[in-house]
Structures are given as structure tokens and as C-alpha cells.
Amino acid sequence: GSVDAANLEYKIRRLRELADRIKRIKSALIEAVNEAKNERLSLVKSSFKEAFKKIYPYERIKDVDFESRIVRGHEVLYVKGKVDATWVYAHQMSTGENVALSFALLLAVNELVSSPLLLLDEPEEGLDEDGIRGLAEVLKKMKAKTQLLVATRSPLLASLLRSEGSVK
């Protein structure tokens, strides 16, 4: 049959309009996803910073934060701490500082997506008494959403967790 040029041009114009609308929708969806991701990341950062200060109540590390990097095509968050005016990474920190970072991050992520069960083997390793007290506070907060099983050699941690009937 014959092709109506005007009808064909009309259909092409409509397809281009549809393509433009789809591009705008895609752009809006990407923006909404990024906004939601940033909000969740902000919540994680806030919880992370609060928990870190409880477990690590010292002045050496003034602040903690995340840094996003692309590694092999995937976004990776690096945790860092501010010592004086310089940011340092976990591999530059002490064992106790790494324990504080790890548990603070664990608490923050667990607030977003609660794990039904968390098994901890000597979580107090590398912490002094003040750090153990802060860790106990963090673990008590976690127990509201997560069942905890803690193996410890620390009489202090055991007594702090047992004090509210949270551990037997």
C-alpha cells in the first residue's frame, strides 16, 4: 500500500515526544533514588558518629565520616577518622579504634535493616574500660531490634549487659 507521509511524520513526532517523556521520567527516578540513598546514608552517618563516640570517648579522633569511591565499577564506602586536621583510615588506626569503628558501623547499618540474630565473639577485644562501657550501651540499644549472643571473657562487659536482664 501507499504510505501517507503526513501520517508517518505524525507518528515519528509522537515517538520522539514519548522518548522525551521517558527520558524525563528516567531522570526523575534517578534523582529520587539518589535522594533516598543520601537520606539513608545521612541516617547511617548520624547513628555511626553517635555510637563511635560512646565506644571511643577519647579526643584523638575528633570526628568520623564516610568517603565514597568507585572500585571496579562499584561504589565503596571508606570509613575515616579525623586526627588533628588530617583524615586517617582504618588501616592507620589502633585495634581499639577499629573495634569502635566496626561496632559503630554495625549498629548504624542494623538500624536501617535489622538482623534477626547477631553472634559476637569477644567484642571487647582491644577496648579499655571506658570503651567496654560504651560498647555495652551500643549493644543494649541493638537488642531492641536484634537478638544478641555475646561470648566474652570480660567480667565488666558481662555484668553491664546482665544488669538489665539482657544476658543470661
Please give the full DSSP string across the chain, using - where no structure is assigned: ----HHHHHHHHHHHHHHHHHHHHHHHHHHHHHHHHHHHHHHHHHHHHHHHHHHH--SSSEEEEEEEEEEETTEEEEEEEEEETTEEEEGGGS-HHHHHHHHHHHHHHHHHHS--SEEEEESTTTT--HHHHHHHHHHHHHHTTTSEEEEE---HHHHHHHHTTT---
Cell of 14: 509522537
For residue 4, what pLDDT is reported?
A: 86
pLDDT of residue 164: 58
Q: Model-level pTM?
A: 0.74
Q: What is the pLDDT along the chain (168 residues), one digit of tens a residue?
A: 567 888 899 999 999 999 999 999 999 999 999 999 889 888 889 999 999 999 999 999 999 998 889 999 998 989 999 999 999 999 999 999 999 999 999 888 888 888 899 999 999 998 999 999 999 999 998 888 899 999 999 999 999 998 655 444
- In this predicted structure, what is the pLDDT of residue 12? 94
